[in-house]
Structure 1
């Protein structure tokens, strides 16, 4: 077949098959040729030489508005897109090359010095899935799993009629409390700042107590404090009482003769660059008191906080409230049963006949690996993990991201680690009780990794003159990506996975179900199955993509809509009848 490279030749073959044989489903069988070392890319457009079935890379250099907006450029220099093989025709019925300006750079957007490819409709014309197999053994394993699944009437099994969700708190979407304490005219003396939070059921937090000193003969000394992970209220686990935490001044700090401002980075105050909630400010005698208030339990999205200040004689000299302060545990809402601004979470669209198993950080059922292994063993028709990821791991945060990410993160499941079990994902032992697994997280389905290239990924962090490899494995020797490892597992895992080959965009705060990105399209898959009765896997996957395109402004580059659909890959048989025949 004609074509400028192998991916384009394959695409012309698919076009011919559609027009000659009226094919509906296309199954690509083959990934990288080796799990120890294989080159993921030949050039910016393709991976072919070390691939059994080549891949198309986009040239979309994403710089989203959120949640990754920061002084640092965090982006994928293009990502794998099997949607390229599904979008055969443009809006006028002509062949869709994904290079409409014919400059030889495919699916370009935001790449410096390259004209954007704006006229790509991205609507699937055929249902495409991939078995990213690296050996004949893997092919046999996965094909046998598919045959068994479709021929043993699994849809009538108790385990199939169960949907299991795993999630936590995706982003620290704290509102800016912005208490303004004017110290002008106050005498030099010790003072004490207090903060206490309340939920709508009347439960209250422990009181955060911060003794400070006003002394205008001294230089101002204010330090950032983010240590709600040691709050007594959450020490016994979740669900927990409300939490109040002042972060912009610490015990023993001094308000002196000079102004002071400080903007904490993401390693101190997660998402502060997106939604400033933690900036220190003492200017012209006014101290801005900022911090956190939240209710760490399922759907605990509203809390009230009271801040008051006493002088050295015990008199209250300042007292203010912030009521109905919002904080959302994004992944839990995305996976859950409730509706927010007219759009429900995934469980809200599933048939009532399905049993719901909800493992969330906020209900105390999701704390780490053992919780995932034990629940997965029971079997489910569907599994939905919504959180954060890499080619190696999936995990999330505890509610409110206490103490920032370094203290609040947990790992739910990983491909490989440096303790037993060495390969936790291979410990899944659900046998033939195989779910369709939707994975919300960055790079979990980035199926271009191999062990040596994964290790080499760490070098540019230490030797900055080296080019970044963008493997997102941080030096860990990952043999195969998270999503594919689930499918190729001979002891269980999944019958198919759907996830992101690149950075997956979640929406912080109240826009989590309506704003688009990874959460929206993942929910839409469950809506297509549960409400629209799309019972063939490839149809449910493709219709979710089509619905996303019809709902969102695909020309909004910074919103990440184009990338959301381009990178959302099905690793499995697109003709699979969900629940079998």
Structure 2
């Protein structure tokens, strides 16, 4: 288990996943029952469905610096799009640069048509996700948890990737508002959300996602092309690499059990960027969590 840094521990701290772990962050028996029903429905009805062969990718100019020519979030979506096309999955892109992403309704409408995969790449907090139009750091376009009830994708649940800070911070609670001495900080960080963005989109009955992967803390990205290899650094390092690697592992390595796809992605990241050599790599691995059933068969089982 990540973050067990005890001095008396017997295991070598190498970050490699020995087992594939996912979390169903249910708050009560009702949520647990609905999640069981949702997972069974997914695994028994998804196979062979046309909607599964679609992905919705949502992005913008994550770091709108005038010196950075790349629209980082959109590049990450295009990378995942290329991987998924290898296995016959078509991608609908919602980008700030071409005005296909103008607000939450664009996301609601696209997801409600049904998709097997959903990819957000941008900024976040426990309550919302957003990105910027090109070179406009003052404007935020996205969606928050209060919009989720508008989804109408019953029976068509995507595996959801969330590139952004704190979207999967599952230890939030509206009861945090009672911590009066910390209220300003808690409110600013949206840690008073009843449930996190990454879990809320999964736990909704009859809509939303079947599982999500995202950060529990502050995510990290690289910008520009500092190694001058012609490849945007946002795709080569930190969160940009690990998010894209998930789709490559699914498409090119054929890993279609969710926990194995997730675990293989972590392993590949660790092999390329040893986390005990860099604190940011260590944090990238630790905070990238699966909220869902690791035994889930992506795409379901044939009947």
Q: TM-score, normalised by structure 1?
A: 0.48
Which residue pairs with 2:215 in the alignment? 500
Query: Are residue 388 (structure 1) and residue 123 (structure 2) matched?
Result: yes
Q: How does 1:415-426 map to 2 (within 5 A)?
A: 415=145, 423-426=146-149
**Distance in 1 between the 2:52 and 2:284 partners?**
29
Q: How does 1:444-459 map to 2 (within 5 A)?
A: 444-453=167-176, 455=177
**Distance in 2 between the 1:414 and 1:353 partners?**
30
Which residue pairs with 1:535 in the alignment? 256
**Distance in 2 between the 1:349 and 1:452 partners?**
42
Matched-pair contact (CA < 8 Å) for 1:390–1:472: no
1:167 alignment partner, one of 59, 68, 86: 59
Which residue pairs with 1:409 in the alignment? 140
1:566 alignment partner, one of 279, 286, 289: 286
Matched-pair contact (CA < 8 Å) for 1:457–1:475: no
Which residue pairs with 1:519 in the alignment? 240
Question: Which structure's relative contact order is higher, taking Cα pairs within 8 Å and 6+ residues apart?
Answer: 2
**Distance in 1 between the 2:277 and 2:128 partners?**
30
2:200 alignment partner, one of 479, 485, 491: 485
Bigger proportion of residues as helix:
2
Distance verdict in 2 for CA 1:477–1:489, change over 3 Å: same
Matched-pair contact (CA < 8 Å) for 2:173–2:191: no
Deviations for 1:512-565, whole angstroms, at most 9, x for unmatched residues? 111x2111111011011011100100000000000000001423435x100001
Distance verdict in 2 for CA 1:347–1:459, change over 3 Å: farther
**Distance in 2 between the 1:123 and 1:360 partners?**
35
Matched-pair contact (CA < 8 Å) for 1:83–1:128: no
TM-fit CA distance, 1:151 = 1.0
TM-fit CA distance, 1:472 = 7.1
Q: TM-score, normalised by structure 2?
A: 0.90
Bigger proportion of residues as strand:
1
Q: Which has the larger radius of gyration?
A: 1
**Distance in 2 between the 1:384 and 1:334 partners?**
9
Distance verdict in 2 for CA 1:164–1:135, change over 3 Å: same
Q: How does 1:99-178 map to 2 (within 5 A)?
A: 99=6, 101-102=7-8, 120-152=13-45, 154-175=46-67
Which residue pairs with 2:106 in the alignment? 371
Matched-pair contact (CA < 8 Å) for 1:458–1:474: no
Question: Which secondary structure does the structure 2 equivalent of 1:555 belong to?
Answer: helix
Question: Which secondary structure does the structure 2 equivalent of 1:535 belong to?
Answer: coil
Question: Which secondary structure does the structure 2 equivalent of 1:172 belong to?
Answer: coil
Query: Are residue 328 (structure 1) and residue 70 (structure 2) matched?
Result: yes
Deviations for 1:387-433, whole angstroms, at most 9, x for unmatched residues? 000000001111112xxx3x3222x2112xxxxxxx21222111110
Question: Which secondary structure does the structure 2 equivalent of 1:399 belong to?
Answer: coil
**Distance in 1 between the 2:277 and 2:248 partners?**
24
Query: Are residue 440 (structure 1) and residue 175 (structure 2) matched?
Result: no
Deviations for 1:281-321, whole angstroms, at most 9, x for unmatched residues? xxxxxxxxxxxxxxxxxxxxxxxxxxxxxxxxxxxxxxxxx
Question: Which secondary structure does the structure 2 equivalent of 1:163 belong to?
Answer: strand
Question: Which secondary structure does the structure 2 equivalent of 1:395 belong to?
Answer: strand
Question: Which secondary structure does the structure 2 equivalent of 1:129 belong to?
Answer: coil
TM-fit CA distance, 1:369 = 0.7
Distance verdict in 2 for CA 1:473–1:529, change over 3 Å: farther
Deviations for 1:123-147, whole angstroms, at most 9, x for unmatched residues? 0011111100011100111100000
Q: How does 1:208-287 map to 2 (within 5 A)?
A: none
**Distance in 2 between the 1:523 and 1:439 partners?**
11
Question: Which secondary structure does the structure 2 equivalent of 1:367 belong to?
Answer: coil
Matched-pair contact (CA < 8 Å) for 1:457–1:472: no
Distance verdict in 2 for CA 1:426–1:125, change over 3 Å: same
